[in-house]
Amino acid sequence: MARLDPHSYFDDAQPRTSAWNLRLRANFDLKVLSGEATLIFGGPSVGVFDLDTKGLSVRCVRASGTDIPFELGPEEPILGRRLRLTLPPATTSVTIVYETSPSAAGLQWLSPEQTAGKRLPFLFSQCQAIHARSVLPCQDSAAARVTYEAEVDVPQGLTAVMSAGAMGDAPAAAGRRKFRFRMPQPIPSYLFALAVGELEGRDLSPRSRVWAEPVVVDAAATEFDGVEAMVLAAEALFGPYDWERFDLLVLPPSFPYGGMENPRMIFLTPTLLAGDRSLVDVIAHELAHSWTGNLVTNATAEHFWLNEGFTIWAERRILSALHGDAAAALSWESGRADLEEALARFQDTPALTCLRTRLDGIDPDDAFSAVPYEKGARFVVALERAVGTKSFAEFVKAYMKRFRFQSITTEIFCGFVEAEFPGLLAKVDAPAWLERPGLPAAAPKFASSKLEELSALASGWKDGKRPDAALAGRWSPAELLVYLRRIPRALSREDCARLDGALSLNDRGNYEVLTQWLSIAAASGYEPAFPRIKTLLASVGRMKYVRSLYQALGRTPAGRRLARETFAAAAPAYHALTRRAAESAMAAYPREMAE
């Protein structure tokens, strides 16, 4: 038995697929993708071959033109169903004819009303961590890589885009349009991505285009016009950009993440459109994954910190290069607050605060937190500070060269560090970072004069210090955010009114600032902000915001009432992941006395 991934039926000892050939048809009436997936083997193969599926209906399986038997195992709550095939001798490919379920976790089908333009329906995928198996039968482990070709058949008037190279149209039936794609670089299944909707593109540079619904696309093109400068800064730090195009797709508001690093086309929440380019750090993050994550990939979710910790570190290196160390210090500070929240949330499951996790029987979506991100990035900085910026930069380049297009474990990473810098792991006490919960006491700190000023002001809150409107008016959104995160949580009604009045918080276009303020207001039971909370929760599906607002509303009876009422109305439009996040926040509410 050679299963190395607790979240996949993928077995290293079995035949390996090297490529997929997909023909998919989007049926918006049934909310179903149907068609065939041809899985191509690296060479002639034979014997038992297991695939991951979740919610898929398999019609038939063919090898060399003839039907072969298939066996779908029992439904496991996290893994889904194993699809077991027995390959006849010298099989070079198998074709699986199948369709997805309307409730596939990796897909969201939106009605026209749920889009920005409100005219046409929309479909998008989100496969990380283990939802690709609800979209197609595959070896759904980051340890396995494939190239692919795809043909996507959609209703006329809609445009299909993928995290792959566009290869033009193929002939289609009346009233339909067929798009062709090719992904020549080998990717893990979680980076497979598709979106279909009313989409338009605007070029940002010779290698970048932003795609969005027509009513959003111009605002998106302005917000993200600095993208080429970012790619150049990243190339200077990490070496040439290897994926040819760097396109951006702005999704409808229900997209559950801030961004997703789908190769060649990152997927983004429309909440990044602040109007003042103040949230483009998310672009830096997804861009950085082109090196840390997409080139060098965590082999399984137990090594997720290799993807995200390195990427947070890389994102802030890009930020420093473009805007200076003081700007990056603000990000490190916001990240510190995120990390503290996560450590508190996992108090009863401290094993999840190790970087190297053991996730047998644990859903990676439930293990998700700021820990692999912020603790992981601090571990990277600990290594960097111990050897110096210059040698670490060389190390990172060598690391990416050595493991490009491979999927690696923490242990492989440590082996490489030890070979490059003997004694370094012991020097930074790597086991404390990797194998022990919490944040090591010697964790790197980040300072700037602005940070000191903001935290002094915030910690003076309890002694009556309040921000002055003129002074706070000169703060950047990132500075304001640091201040808001530092002031005490439940505030009096007067203080809420004063904060909002002095800083016009309800009207902010920067969603980080807006949701930070609304979660203070929610935790304080400040009812004048309730209508804004309600409209936000009814219109935005980014999990991070939805979760923290539902959590904050739990602090007062009036908040809990608002939460329940809002959830009842908004839940049908939420992405499955977002719905689950809101439900679990509400499940932690205290029981109401008089209900």
User: Where in 439-468 is the site for ligand BES (CB under 6 A)?
Assistant: none
Candidates 289, 316, 356, 575; binder of ligand BES (CB under 6 A) is: 289
Q: Are 23 and 35 in contact (CB under 8 A)?
A: yes
| Contact in structure between 522 and 552 (CB atoms under 8 Å) | yes
| Of 23 and 542, CB closest to ligand BES | 542
Beta-carbon contacts of 65 under 8 Å, excluding residues fewer than 6 positions away, are none
**Of the two residues 367 and 484, which places its CB atom closer to ligand BES in the complex?**
367
**Is 286 an active-site residue?**
yes
Buried-state track 162-190, b at ≥16 Cβ within 10 A, e below 16: bbbbbeeeeeeeeeebbbbbebebebbbb
Instruction: Identify which range of 19-27, 164-172, 202-210, 279-287 contacts ligand BES by CB under 6 A.
Output: 279-287
**Strand pairing report for 57-63 and 66-68:** antiparallel
Inter-CA distances, 358 with 129, 303, 350, 351, 361, Å: 15, 9, 12, 8, 9
- Asked if residues 71 and 102 have their Cβ atoms less than 8 Å apart, the reply is no
Applying CB under 5 A, what is the total number of residues that bind Zn ion?
Answer: 2
308 binds ligand BES (CB under 6 A): yes
Range 522-561, binding ligand BES (CB under 6 A): 544
235 assigned to active site = no
Using CB under 6 A as the binding rule, whether residue 130 contacts ligand BES is answered as no
Q: Tell me which of ligand BES, Zn ion, none is bound by residue 129, counting a contact when its beta carbon lies within the kind-specific cut-off of 5 to 8 angstroms.
A: ligand BES
106 near 130, Cβ under 8 Å?
A: no
How far apart are alpha carbons 148 and 384 in whole angstroms? 37
The one catalytic residue in 151, 286, 315, 479 is 286
Q: Which of 148, 373, 526, 574 is catalytic?
A: 373
438 half-sphere exposure, CB direction, 13 A CA radius = 5
Instruction: Output 153 or 315, the one with its CB closest to ligand BES.
Output: 315
Tell which residue, 113, 539, 511, 485, has the closest CA to residue 531: 539
Residue closer to Zn ion, measured from CB, 284 or 387: 284
Binding segment for ligand BES (CB under 6 A), chosen from 104-112, 284-292, 429-437, 563-571, is 284-292
Which window, 178-186, 193-201, 285-293, 455-463, contacts ligand BES (CB under 6 A)?
A: 285-293
Q: Which residues contact 13 (CB under 8 A, 6 or more apart)?
A: 1, 2
Question: Looking only at residues 299 through 318 of this chain, which bind Zn ion when binding is defined by CB under 5 A?
Answer: 308, 311
Complex with ligand BES: residue 127 or 382, whichever CB lies closer: 127
Residue 274 contacts which entry, Zn ion, ligand BES, none (Cβ below 5-8 A, type-dependent): none
Distance, CA of 82 to CA of 70 (rounded, Å): 10
DSSP 303: G
What, of Zn ion, ligand BES, none, does residue 368 touch, CB below 5 to 8 Å by kind?
ligand BES
User: How does DSSP classify residue 48?
Assistant: E
Q: From the list 45, 128, 254, 262, which residue makes contact with ligand BES (rule: CB under 6 A)?
A: 128
* Residue 35 bridge partners (DSSP): 24, 98
- The minimum distance between CB 258 and ligand BES, in angstroms, equals 3
Residues 248 to 267 in contact with ligand BES, rule: CB under 6 A: 257-261
Closest distance between Zn ion and the C-beta of residue 261, in Å?
6
Q: Which does 40 bind (CB under 5 to 8 A by kind): ligand BES, Zn ion, none?
A: none
User: Smallest gap, in angstroms, from Cβ of residue 209 to Zn ion?
Assistant: 22
Which is nearest to 260 in space by CA: 252, 275, 250?
250
* CB count in 10 Å sphere of residue 592: 10
- Per CB under 5 A, residues contacting Zn ion are 308, 311
Catalytic annotation, residues:
286, 373
> Site residues (CB under 6 A) for ligand BES?
128-129, 257-261, 282, 285-286, 289, 308, 368, 544
